A and B are shown apart, each in its own frame.
Chain A
């Protein structure tokens, strides 16, 4: 019965798509604002993500100015921040707010929603071969919840006490006590509401992504023929689906602590020997456990889509099959599983039982194995490849570079004993900005440059793209690499001004170097913005398959239509990475092109498949009959 239903829905969608093309012109609002078309929603996510990214980066430049020249007065800061920037210097409380919101924006709004939202929406239906997402309406809701969430978060800049300032992790008691610091007031409440809306958005999106990948692949698109992007998006969605609800629970309890006098996260706090709280009984460490149960998978929610994108980009532009497709899939699966059981490595110094810390350390270090598999597979794919250095390829190679240099320091930080020295220092800042910040944003840039022709029907300028890559690459290393040395020397993160502490005075020159490099990185992003927005209208027109890529999205017309393919959805005949096959003249072999004399996977299962099924049946017969034999023998013995 259910099969019929599925066929029905497919037929209905098909019919709909035709209806739209021929008879019905959509209004502006239906087409550009409350669109249910996955390609438009993906553009909405991308542009919102880019705007949020500019805001987040702008904030980081402001506090970098403060760190490099703490005694200097910048009229710009006063005109931007008003009372928080008196005499051109950032107010210390506001410095914390900027750091907090910079982290929140970058982690959640740019690298989660901006990255996953954009490319899952664009590529899942196109690369799996379906007309749209399983539920286009929920997909639209997902974007609008994200949009409202962004507005709520940014609105906290306009409240009297300023935005949340207890760090992007909003640890209690700083975040639970409304009077702890200015940002702990309305700012933190808005932060929590923004995150709850964000979780709803992530949930609506995630349910859709998983369902579409599992249920709506076209004929012949078996799981082992999925492009690695889709595998990455699928696993990312699963991670989000299972970890965001825990943050929802944590946020709910925090909201009650703040507003209704409960004490889930508040234990005894004494000021001058007098209990400062009207009630107590909870534990701030509970919040940390709940938060990091999301927080660690979140790292991979950010990173995995970037890894998937770079797999496709590297394979396409090296004109080689990705090295070890199944190893890539298995390592993604391994990373996904491990990401759920390592959250304790963020909490080594909370007074955790050393035995527990050791266990967390082991599982953390095991993540190095699947990560190394991925790294070496990237390198092996590049090895002797016929490489085309498109901007997308440059950024994908950049990702591999950051994944190595940032990943290696993860081995230091994952060590429970070393972490006592290095936690909360600039070493940590350097580590996560390289391994998840830079490498994920490079993956995102790779995706933007690679799929820009698919999104907007035009090409981005290649020269500007390469320039953007080199400037960003150099500035990212100049910004984050020196931070390792600062961290090892004990410079703590989240400090407002180092010139007051003589021991850290020797790092002032390094701070200036980092800020200058960060400003250079900012200029590089202006190049990108110009290239991106200019090319929407004035870029060179794209052809149908500009990169000579194999995957299904390039079989659609350049002009977007509802339902993606005007006629039948193409059938898939082979895996996504058939580049440079010796038996072919062209150096690529699209998934949707029927070959000569190859077995048609869907319509006639190959003899090998049938014999395999037979073997399995035989094996199970042997298995069960031996059980029956043993059982009867026992019964006899007893009798």
Chain B
């Protein structure tokens, strides 16, 4: 840091040093994330375009409140978006432990880095497990890549839209009719692509965690790798906020 303050400002971009004062590895991670953001944007914008095309259609887009209203061990209770909120909480919490790991790395405390990395990995695994449960639930109820059975018959819809938090739900297969297919396929694609990122993140975190245990970074004298995987992890978290907003909340 001292270097930055004493050097004349005009030399920031004059070569011989990093203009952003970062190592090439961290810069690469930032650039990769920028690019990955565009991949997610393409999927989310595609989602938006398809969903918008159903506005005013005779087969409307199913209301997420009435689809994602299950919770483990609470069978038959209407709990809209409660489970996915829990998932969001878990993922954001794992971001918090990641921040703590980065901070511990800056203090060069190997033990604490290991502790918080482990917690982050556990958070990631918990999120993936929740997603597995949610996918199972979704598939059991008739969601497939090529079909969507979440739309209600007009009579059932009258009942469904008046449901309140905690009400008992008793709909049968007869109450459901086929709806827009892209609803189900986009669910699998968008959450699947995000889940794939979380999965890769967990694997990467695991590798880093093992390196921490072996003392690789303590010997190296800095914990920059933690910061790099931290960037990736926060990005995955941020993307989930958008998925959650656009797919579940709206």
Contacts and interface: CB of A to CB of B under 8 A. Distances in A.
Interface stretch (A245-253, A329-337, A378-386): A245-253
Contact of B18 (A6, A263, A613): A6
Interface string A241-273: 111111011101100100011111000000000
Nearest to B10: A609
Interface in A139-157: none
A279 B147 contact: yes
A286 B42 CA distance: 10
B15 A572 contact: yes
Given A211-B28, A281-B182, A605 B11 contact: yes
A6 B23 contact: yes
A356 interface: no
Interface in A599-624: 601-602, 605, 609-610, 612-613
B185 interface: yes
B174 interface: no
A221 interface: yes
A292 to B, nearest CB: 12
Contacts of A610: 8
B189 interface: yes
B4 interface: yes
Given A6-B18, A134-B24, A249-B39, A1 B222 contact: yes
B143 interface: no
Nearest to A209: B31
A223 interface: yes
B216 interface: no
Interface stretch (B43-51, B109-117, B125-133): B43-51
A218 interface: yes
A221 B15 contact: yes
A526 interface: no
B10 A203 contact: no
B222 A207 contact: no
29 contacts: A1-B1, A1-B222, A3-B1, A5-B222, A6-B17, A203-B32, A207-B31, A207-B32, A212-B24, A215-B19, A218-B16, A220-B14, A242-B35, A246-B39, A246-B41, A249-B40, A253-B43, A256-B185, A260-B145, A260-B146, A262-B189, A263-B146, A264-B46, A279-B146, A279-B181, A281-B181, A293-B42, A572-B15, A613-B10
B1 A262 contact: no
A222 B1 contact: no
Given A279-B147, A289-B49, A613-B8, 16 more contacts: A3-B18, A9-B23, A203-B35, A211-B24, A215-B18, A215-B20, A219-B15, A248-B42, A249-B40, A278-B146, A281-B50, A281-B181, A286-B46, A572-B15, A602-B11, A602-B14
B182 A9 contact: no
B17 A3 contact: yes
Dominant secondary structure at the A interface: helix
A120 interface: no
Contact of B34 (A215, A216, A223, A242): A242
B38 A134 contact: no
Contacts of B146: 260-263, 278-279
B53 interface: yes
Interface residues of A, number: 65
B13 interface: yes
B27 interface: yes
Dominant secondary structure at the B interface: helix
A551 to B, nearest CB: 14
B36 A249 contact: no
Interface residues on B, range: 35 or more
Contacts of B46: 249-250, 253, 264, 286, 290
A605 B10 contact: yes
Contacts of A278: 146
Contact of B39 (A248, A264, A279): A248
Contact of A135 (B28, B43, B222): B28
Interface in A201-219: 203, 206-208, 210-212, 214-219
Nearest to B186: A264
Contact of B182 (A211, A215, A263): A263
Contact of A283 (B8, B19, B50): B50
Contacts of B43: 249, 252-253
B55 interface: no
A1 B53 CA distance: 52
A139 to B, nearest CB: 12
Cβ-closest 8 pairs across A and B: A249-B42, A261-B146, A219-B16, A221-B15, A217-B15, A245-B39, A262-B185, A134-B24
A161 interface: no
Contacts of A601: 14
